[in-house]
């Protein structure tokens, strides 16, 4: 049931929770009950679960803001269950939903908090603060001397992250860091944060109650049931393809396959060959190409092989219409888009297939509904297989590997519609991924 709650040893567990329990005074039941979890180095591990499942309590036990009733906590192999809590916390960045910037201090002083406690010299602190502001996309010249109230919510959250990273701790603990922020800014912050993580490679424990955020942000997700019982601890793709039990299935909700489509990119699946002809070609040679092929249509492309029109035999009958205006317009899909985007495009355009293009806009194949469906089937099967045979076989399904392969940019692509099955309207959010003024 709690498969994967401890690692298979392939990656080093930077944080290890061992039989952790917490009972609050005056309560009959454990708020956290016998939780064991390995957090691998350099990964984002998401704790996700319904309200009251103990996510926050778990997170706060890792930095010992809450002392466990029993069990042990290891950090970098060292038992930190009973070391000095304040010193321990200086080794872990901590970001909360309400951020908690110190309102009476400038942004610069806020960020300098931990370095100051660690006794860094002024010059080093100054340099570091500037570096961090740059890192989170805020101009030090503009913002260093400002006060928290002079920033937008999104900017405050960035400063919160910068402050947590100040002394370069190996660990970052984040409790619903983006929950209080409007959806568009949230998507932007998520993307920026993933981008940042490709640079900083911290070990991150990230609490959310939002499964979509979990899928988007997580290298691994721990789905917590009541009292922090681990219902499943796995990669997003495995959880989507093979939920361990009914609770997980419920939690993922309907449309698990749809969500999963965000994990795979058009470039990762097998594209169909399709007959193409230059849009300037003779009508007869197009007709001949159509006859040679087993497909019902031909794709007309321009000189740079950019898709122009879909034409079938009937279109070719109308001799009076020039080829460039025959048939149907050919919408295109970038190779970097996700299967989710592709499906969305097909449903919107009411065509069962769509042309895929590379960075230059040149045609590189066709993706159709069957390809998407087959990809879903394949993902499910592979994930199930790996999931059942977890003993010695490779831990991650092939597709999950592909997902991991491209690091930031792969997941960057999954931003589109990462949250809403509304797909289209998320483009704006992702496209606006720059900085906010």
Partner 1 sequence: MSDFREYLSYRRDHLLEQTLEHAQLVLYAIATATVVSVLIAVLVYRRERVAAVALAAVGALFTVPSLALFALMIPIFGLGFRPAFIALTVYALLPILRNTIVGLRSVDSAVIESAQGMGMNRLRRLVKIELPLAWPVIITGMRVSTVMTVGIAAIAAYINGPGLGGDMLEGLARIGAPVALHMVLASILLVVALALLFDLVYLALGKLTTPKGIT
Q: Which residues bind ligand ATP (CB under 6 A)?
A: 24, 31, 49, 51-57, 209
d(CA 356, CA 33): 50
Pick from 35, 79, 71: nearest CA to 55: 35
Q: Which helix (H) or strand (E) holds 64?
A: none
Task: Specify the DSSP class assigned to residue 265.
Answer: B
Footprint of partner 1 on 116-135 (CB under 8 A): 117
CA-CA-CA-CA torsion sign (410, 412, 413, 416): positive
Distances in whole angstroms, Cα of residue 199 to Cα of each of 102, 202, 424? 27, 9, 29
Q: Assess 163 for contact with partner 1 (CB under 8 A).
A: yes
Contacted entry of partner 1, ligand ATP, Mg ion, none for residue 104, CB cut-off 5 to 8 Å set by kind: partner 1
> How far is residue 351's CA from residue 357's CA, in Å, rounded to a whole number?
17
The listed partner (partner 1, Mg ion, ligand ATP, none) that binds 323, CB under 5 to 8 Å by sort, is none
Q: How far is the CB of 213 from partner 1 (least distance, A)?
A: 20
Question: E strand or H helix at 207, and its extent?
Answer: strand 203-208
Number of residues counted as binding partner 1 (CB under 8 A): 29
Nearer to ligand ATP by C-beta: 31 or 214? 31
Which of ligand ATP, Mg ion, partner 1, none lies near 57, with the C-beta cut-off 5 to 8 A by kind?
Answer: ligand ATP
**For partner 1, which residue of 28, 123, 149, 199 counts as binding (CB under 8 A)?**
149
Eight-class DSSP state of 150: G
Least CB distance to partner 1 at residue 63 (A): 6
Distance CA 232, CA 247 (A): 9
Stretch that binds Mg ion, among 51-59, 70-78, 278-286, 318-326 (CB under 5 A): 51-59
d(CA 185, CA 213) in angstroms, rounded, equals: 13
100: its two tokens: 């908690």
The listed partner (partner 1, Mg ion, ligand ATP, none) that binds 98, CB under 5 to 8 Å by sort, is partner 1
Find the binder of partner 1 among 98, 122, 348, 393 (CB under 8 A).
98
Rounded CA-CA distance 357/336 in Å is: 9
Kindly tell me which of 176 and 426 has the beta carbon lying closer to ligand ATP: 176
65 binds, among Mg ion, partner 1, ligand ATP, none (CB under 5 to 8 A by kind): partner 1
CB of 95 vs partner 1, minimal distance in Å: 8
CB of 31 to ligand ATP, least distance (A): 3
Rounded distance, CA 174 to CA 144, Å? 23
């Amino acid at each position: 049931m709690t498969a994967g709650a401890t690692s298979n040893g392939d990656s080093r567990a930077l944080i290890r929770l061992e039989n952790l329990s917490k009972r609050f005074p005056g309560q009959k039941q454990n708020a956290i009950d016998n939780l064991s979890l390995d957090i691998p180095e350099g990964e984002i591990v998401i704790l996700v679960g319904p309200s009251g499942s103990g996510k926050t309590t778990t997170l706060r036990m890792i930095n010992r803001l809450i002392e466990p009733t029993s069990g042990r906590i290891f950090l970098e192999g060292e038992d930190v269950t009973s070391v000095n809590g304040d010193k321990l916390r200086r080794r872990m960045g901590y970001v909360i939903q309400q951020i908690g910037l110190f309102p009476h201090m400038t942004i610069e002083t806020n960020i300098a908090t931990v370095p100051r406690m660690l006794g860094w010299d002024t010059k080093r602190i100054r340099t570091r603060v500037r570096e961090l502001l740059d890192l989170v996309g805020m101009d030090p010249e503009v913002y260093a001397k400002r006060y928290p109230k002079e920033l937008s919510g999104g900017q405050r959250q960035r400063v919160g992250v910068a402050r947590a990273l100040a002394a370069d701790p190996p660990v970052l603990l984040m409790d619903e860091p983006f929950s209080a922020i409007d959806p568009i800014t949230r998507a932007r912050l998520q993307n920026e944060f993933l981008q940042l993580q490709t640079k900083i490679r911290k070990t991150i424990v990230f609490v959310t109650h939002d499964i979509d955020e979990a899928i988007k942000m997580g290298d691994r997700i721990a789905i917590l049931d009541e009292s922090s019982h681990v219902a499943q601890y796995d990669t997003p793709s495995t959880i989507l393809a093979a939920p361990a039990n009914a609770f997980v299935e419920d939690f993922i909700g309907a449309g698990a396959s749809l969500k999963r489509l965000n994990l795979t990119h058009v470039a990762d699946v097998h594209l169909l060959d399709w007959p193409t002809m230059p849009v300037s070609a003779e009508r007869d040679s197009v007709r001949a190409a159509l006859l040679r092929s087993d497909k019902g249509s031909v794709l007309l492309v321009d000189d740079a092989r950019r898709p122009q029109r879909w034409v079938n035999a009937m279109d070719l009958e109308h001799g009076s219409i020039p080829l460039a205006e025959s048939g149907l317009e050919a919408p295109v899909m970038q190779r970097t888009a996700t299967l989710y985007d592709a499906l969305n495009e097909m449903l919107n355009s009411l065509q069962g297939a769509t042309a895929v293009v590379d960075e230059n806009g040149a045609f590189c194949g066709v993706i159709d509904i069957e390809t998407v469906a087959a990809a879903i089937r394949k993902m499910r099967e592979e994930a199930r297989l790996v999931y059942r045979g977890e003993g010695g076989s490779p831990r991650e399904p092939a597709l999950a590997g592909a997902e991991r392969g491209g690091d930031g940019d792969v997941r960057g692509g999954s931003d589109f519609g990462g949250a809403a099955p509304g797909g289209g309207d998320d483009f704006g959010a992702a496209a606006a991924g720059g900085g906010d003024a």
